[in-house]
Amino acid sequence: MECCSAPVLSEGDEKDQASQIKEWWQKVEQSSITYSLEFSHILHTDVTDCYGSLYTHSIAWSLHGMKQAKESKGKSSLLGDQIDYLIRAGRYGQTNGISQGSVLMDFFAEIVLGYVDELITDKLDANFDYKILRYRDDYRIFTNDDQKAEYILKTISDCLRSVGMRLGVAKTFAHTNVIEGSIKPDKIAGIELQDLGKTNAKTLQKQLLRLHSFGRKYPNSGALKRLLSILHKRVARQKITPDDLEVQVAIATDIAVTSPTTFPVIAAILSHLISLQPAEQKSELWNKVKNKMSNVPYNGYQEIWLQRVTKPTAVGLEFLSDEAICKIVNGEKVTLWENEWIGSKALNEALEVSQIMVADASAASEEIYPAEVALFNDNAFALSG
Range of weakest confidence among 22-36, 85-99, 139-153 = 22-36
Q: What's CA 70's distance to the chain center, in Å?
A: 36
Mind listing the pLDDT tens digit for each residue in 362-380?
A: 888 999 988 888 765 554 4
Closest by Cα among 34, 8, 28 to 20 = 8
- With 50 as the cut, is the pLDDT of residue 102 above it? yes
Distance separating alpha carbons of residues 326 and 337, to the nearest angstrom: 14
**Residue 132 region, left (φ>0) first, then alpha (ψ -120 to 50), else beta?**
beta
pLDDT at 380: 47
Phi, psi dihedral angles at 267 (to 5 degrees):
-60, -35
- With 70 as the cut, is the pLDDT of residue 35 above it? yes
Range of weakest confidence among 16-25, 74-83, 227-236 = 16-25
Query: By three-state DSSP, how is residue 3 classified?
Result: strand
Helix H segments across the chain?
A: 16-24, 31-34, 50-53, 57-64, 66-71, 79-89, 103-123, 146-161, 178-182, 185-192, 204-217, 222-236, 245-258, 263-275, 279-293, 300-310, 324-329, 345-350, 370-373, 380-383
Mean pLDDT of the chain: 87
pLDDT at 381: 46
Q: Which of 54-63, 177-186, 225-234 has the highest mean pLDDT?
A: 54-63
Q: Residue 170, Cβ neighbours under 10 Å: how many?
A: 8
314 and 275 Cβ atoms separated by less than 8 Å = yes
- With 80 as the cut, is the pLDDT of residue 132 above it? yes
- With 90 as the cut, is the pLDDT of residue 254 above it? yes
Mind listing the pLDDT tens digit for each residue in 230-245?
A: 899 888 888 888 888 9
Distance separating alpha carbons of residues 160 and 142, to the nearest angstrom: 19
pLDDT at 51: 93
pTM greater than 0.75: no
pLDDT at 133: 94
- With 70 as the cut, is the pLDDT of residue 349 above it? yes
366 and 314 Cβ atoms separated by less than 8 Å = yes
Mind listing the pLDDT tens digit for each residue in 150-181?
A: 999 999 999 999 999 999 988 898 998 898 88
Q: In what order do the strands lie in the sheet with 2-3?
A: 2-3, 131-135, 138-143, 41-46, 173-175
In this structure, the dihedral spanned by the alpha carbons of residues 347, 348, 353 and 358, taken in order and rounded to 10 degrees, is -40
pLDDT at 73: 74
- With 60 as the cut, is the pLDDT of residue 198 above it? no
